[in-house]
Amino acid sequence: MKFPRLVSLGWLISAFLIGPVSADDRPNILWIIPDDMSAHFSCYGETAIETPHLDRMAANGVMFTRAFVTAPVCSTNRSAFITGMYQTSIGAHHHRSGRGEIKIHLPEGVELVPQLFQDAGYYTSIAGWPINPQRLGKTDYNFEWDQSVYDGSDWSGRAEGQPFFAQIQSRGGKLRGSNFEAYARIRARAETELGSSTPVSAVNLPPYYPQDNAVLREDWAAYLDSIRLTDAMIGEVIDRLEAEGELENTIIIFMTDHGISHARGKQFLHEEGVHVPLVIQGPSIERGAVRTDLVEHIDIAALSLAAAGIELPATMQAQDILAADYQPREAVFSARDRCDETVDYLRMVRTERYKYIRNYLPERPHLMPNRYKDDKVIIKELRQAHADGELNELQDDILFAPTRAPEELYDLRDDPFELNNLADDPAHAETLANLRQRLKDWEVATNDHGRETEAEYDSDMIPQIAKVKNNRPEQLDTIMSNIDLMKKWDAEGK
């Protein structure tokens, strides 16, 4: 028999003092989480486009300027925020893992956030946008789970007076696609739905990408239009809540699942990959507040449960960053492991000023072969520019050096684009040692599972190979070659 979770002490006291707490007294919780999108919104300082709906959310709530994901790729990130746990602690840190014969099971005491809401009497839903009542939205969890934790795809299915915990998982940055045809489609869509598209002339590329490359600039313009379309979607969701009379009793949390999919973004631990927007509005949320302290994306699990008066599991690593007694973190952590067929092993600790990255496989290049990323026209363009000698020394070294430094240290105050590795600078030796130890302590304290076994790798490659064979047969040789290379490097100790 399944017993409901206990609500927090505050809710129990309310029940004794003023009688039973009705469902109507508890807020709805709504997560809006687009794919592949960094904090390039106007409320975060982006000047090339305007994003009025997220700007309005920020004005009506709280905006976090230093929010970071604990994993810069979809499935590992989602496995983390849906449990409120570091993906490295629950063995879900390899992208699209547990899909073969070897399955991943959550440790004892770790439960899914929607299950906790469901047990407390909430209606749970997950969808894309526009909502398809016949189909659940993106989950992509790396462990075994029961789909019954979701009651449906649309909160309209709840009983009268029943509060809801809902998720809207949108394509976000994936709307821009990965080739010229996709760029044309999103440009046309932006012109139709928003009245204009973002001109290439408005684009400002990070300095580690070639500034005058027409392909990269067109891609970035398409990316900015994907942000504008996502912002419009935020407005549509808020309009629906208002029309249904639910807006004033709904806590809305907007966050992305990781940064832009680019050569130094998605899959990597630089700011482009791990820094994300986080904006929250709703009842009891301070209006117009700006928080500059460090927070982690898993914290949305804890703050959402706490807002609903649901007791947090003792195992949960997420923190209620909205609690009156919350003590701000001194550092945040993130990890990158195998992505698709490509094996990597990176760990990161970031303080307010410094970032330390540990490359456990330094003999491998930054842009290792990866079927998914190498299919993007921007990566093809960068590889061609490298081959043709068109990158400057800094760009070439950052993106295409044949090996990586075992340790990277950046002063983010003076070097926000992480261009100058200070790990070998004697003047920063004390900082390096401190962050190195802090990362080691975190790995031990959180039971970081580290690299997967060869058997686990082989198990997860079987469904990936089958998917490519069925959907992209022209790429079968590519993924097989990449798998062989990973095994070769591993045998060589690289």
Domain that holds residue 362: 336-452
The H or E element that residue 17 is part of is: helix 9-18
Q: Is there a domain that residue 56 lies in?
A: yes
Q: Is there a domain that residue 481 lies in?
A: no
- What is the per-residue pLDDT for 16? 35
Both 77 and 180 in one domain: the answer is yes
**Last residue within a domain, chosen from 452, 470, 487:** 452
Both 291 and 357 in one domain: the answer is no
Both 260 and 348 in one domain: the answer is no
**Last residue within a domain, chosen from 262, 297, 326:** 326
d(CA 33, CA 486): 32
Distances (CA, A) of 24 to 17, 41, 224: 17, 34, 39
DSSP secondary structure, 84-135, as one string: TS-TTTTT--STT-S-SSS---PPTT---HHHHHHHTT-EEEEE-SS--TTS
- What is the per-residue pLDDT for 24? 59
Both 322 and 344 in one domain: the answer is no
**Last residue within a domain, chosen from 261, 295, 326:** 326
Which distant-in-sequence residues (6+ apart) come within 8 Å of 367 by Cβ? 263, 373, 379, 382, 383, 399, 400
- Neighbour count for residue 320 (Cβ, 10 Å): 18
Q: Is there a domain that residue 487 lies in?
A: no
Both 154 and 217 in one domain: the answer is yes
CATH of the domain at 143: 3.40.720.10
CATH of the domain at 360: 3.30.1120
Both 180 and 224 in one domain: the answer is yes
Both 352 and 316 in one domain: the answer is no
Both 341 and 319 in one domain: the answer is no
Both 357 and 297 in one domain: the answer is no
Q: Is there a domain that residue 152 lies in?
A: yes
* Cα within 13 Å of Cα(463), Cβ side: 14
The total of structural domains in the chain comes to: 2
Which distant-in-sequence residues (6+ apart) come within 8 Å of 414 by Cβ? none
Q: Residues of 273-287 as b/e, b for ≥16 C-beta within 10 angstroms?
A: bbbbbbbbbbeebee
Structure tokens that stand for 114 in this block:
């929607």
| The dihedral sign for the CA sequence 97, 103, 106, 111 | positive
Structure tokens that stand for 282 in this block:
């709703």
Locate tokens 């999103």: which residue? Answer: 186
Q: Is there a domain that residue 285 lies in?
A: yes
Q: Is there a domain that residue 470 lies in?
A: no
Q: Is there a domain that residue 245 lies in?
A: yes
Q: Is there a domain that residue 312 lies in?
A: yes
* Closest C-alpha to 42, from 220, 227, 290, 209: 227
Both 322 and 358 in one domain: the answer is no
Q: Tens digit of pLDDT per residue, the chain (494 long)?
A: 232 333 444 333 333 333 334 445 899 999 999 999 999 999 999 999 999 999 999 999 999 999 999 999 999 999 999 999 999 999 999 999 999 999 999 999 999 999 999 999 999 999 999 999 999 999 999 999 999 999 999 999 999 999 999 999 999 999 999 999 999 999 999 999 999 999 999 999 999 999 999 999 999 999 999 999 999 999 999 999 999 999 999 999 999 999 999 999 999 999 999 999 999 999 999 999 999 999 999 999 999 999 999 999 999 999 999 999 999 999 999 999 999 999 999 999 999 999 999 999 999 999 999 999 999 999 999 999 999 999 999 999 999 999 999 999 999 999 999 999 999 999 999 999 999 999 999 999 999 999 999 999 999 999 999 999 999 999 999 999 999 999 999 999 99
Residue 254 forms beta bridges with which residues?
Answer: 32, 279
Collapsing DSSP states into helix, strand and coil, what is residue 66? strand
Both 369 and 292 in one domain: the answer is no
Both 350 and 267 in one domain: the answer is no
Is 307 in contact with 292 (CB distance < 8 Å)? no
Distances (CA, A) of 294 to 16, 68, 134, 149, 408: 37, 8, 39, 31, 20
